[in-house]
A and B are shown apart, each in its own frame.
Chain A
Amino acid sequence: MGGVPPGSFALLLHGAAVSLLLAAVAIAGGTVFAIALATLAFSRLAVVRAVYGLYVYVVRGTPLLVLALLVFYALPALDLRTGPYIAGTLVLVLYVGALFAEVFRGGVLAIPRPQWESARSLGLPPFAKFRKVIAPLVTRYTLPPYVNVCVMTVKASSVLSIISVWELTLAAREIIERTFAVFTILGMAAALYFVMCFGLDRLGRRLERHLLRRGFVGERA
């Protein structure tokens, strides 16, 4: 079964920090990308709406690993000098962007009619309408599914280990292949992922309660 080499946990902890960083960048980038993407879904032009539909269909119907390998092998072919970190982060942003966009689209669809009508009758310009009406309401409606996708992002970042992005899963795999301390190392890795994902979930619920107390979040959408 092999002994656990000293310093394994520190190595895994370092990997977990990288995983968290990858997820944080993907969540931030994915959210910005998703806002742009979701506006396509409400375009007046059928072609633009179709582009949105196709993008979401392709991203949701293809494994993250296949997209990651595609970008990993295709980017050097475009003669851009990028390591797996750039390719991996890019893919993660593109991937979770589609998931966030679907969440936001659902939130916009949940905005009741009178809100749209009053925004129009106030004569709000488009940007003010987005900032004062759409963004607050969508935030209110979509907080729980948004947090779900955030948790999913942390878990999805593990897939990048296969394109040699060094993070928690790859750190664990490297130690296992050297030492065969399979159960201990994977147990530790699972515990670290659990703390990150479960912690994120609890943080989301806490935020929801906090906003609820301030009268911001209504009933769960």
Chain B
Amino acid sequence: MTFARWIAIYGPTYVTGLGWTAMTALGAALGAIGWGCVLLLLRLSGPGPARAVDAYVQLFRNTPVLLPIYLLYFGLPLVGLPWPAVICGGLALVLQNGAYVAEILRGGLKAIDRVQFDAARSIGLSPWNTFRKVLLPQVLVYSIPSLGNQVVLLVKDTSLLSAITVTELTMQAKLLTEQTGAAYEAFVVVALLYLLLVSATEITFRAAHRAVRWH
């Protein structure tokens, strides 16, 4: 079968898979950045929570992402939460990548001058408003390139959700290979689609970096 014919026949299958992958990645990326911000706030709120956040980050940095994926997929139904596989998997990606985002944001925090804390207090901002209006926006802007790298890793990690029956790109390719007996066509196309997604992610973050760079 020629490559063109392969695309003509199975194109819609890939589009479905691409849709699932893109939606999962987008949702998990937003969730991970949000969760990372919460972890940063916790880290700043006192020595006790800071130690807890450190332990959390170390745990997730030193274990493979498949473990939280299996934990939520097999574990949540046992505690009475039979959520769809894509939610379990997406949540696992949020928990794991949130730990990395928290580390990235902590790095960004170092770039902020201590004077700004004093300035914020002297104009009467509460600690919460200092975090929300002074620290967080700057930290996020400084961290855009590193966050972009992390989101690229996250996009690739969505492929692991095929192990828990989510019908994203990798799963579609696997099904196609098993249905058609074709050895590699399905995966070559999927690899190209991932390259496309990853490149699009990189371009988006580079554009965002340029758009908000003020220094």
- Chain A residues engaging chain B, CB cutoff 8 angstroms: 1, 57-58, 60-67, 69-70, 73-74, 76-77, 151, 155-156, 158-159, 161-162, 169, 172-173, 176-177, 180, 182-183, 186, 189-190, 193-194, 197-198, 201
Q: Shortest distance in angstroms between A116's beta carbon and chain B's nearest beta carbon?
A: 29
In whole angstroms, what is the CA distance A63 to B174 when docked?
A: 14
Q: Shortest distance in angstroms between B205's beta carbon and chain A's nearest beta carbon?
A: 14
Interface range on chain B (Cβ under 8 Å from partner): 35 or more
6 A–B contact pairs at CB < 8 A?
A66-B170, A66-B190, A158-B67, A180-B78, A186-B74, A186-B75
CB pair B194–A65 under 8 Å, yes or no, is no
In whole angstroms, what is the CA distance A159 to B194 when docked?
A: 17
> Contacting B67 at CB < 8 Å: which of A58, A67, A190?
A190
Residues of A within 8 A of B78 (CB): 1, 180, 182-183
Main secondary structure of the interface of B (DSSP, over half): helix
Main secondary structure of the interface of A (DSSP, over half): helix
In whole angstroms, what is the CA distance A62 to B156 when docked?
A: 7
> Contacting B63 at CB < 8 Å: which of A62, A73, A162, A197?
A197
> Contacting B170 at CB < 8 Å: which of A63, A73, A158, A177?
A63
B198 contacts the other chain (CB 8 A): yes
Stretch of B4-12, B101-109, B125-133, B159-167 contacting A (4+ beta carbons < 8 Å)? B159-167
- Given the interface pairs A159-B160, A183-B75, the reply to whether A73 lies near B177 with Cβ below 8 Å is yes
CB pair A169–B67 under 8 Å, yes or no, is yes
> Contacting A193 at CB < 8 Å: which of B62, B152, B174, B194?
B62
B112 contacts the other chain (CB 8 A): no
In whole angstroms, what is the CA distance A193 to B156 when docked?
A: 21
Stretch of B31-39, B137-145, B180-188 contacting A (4+ beta carbons < 8 Å)? B180-188
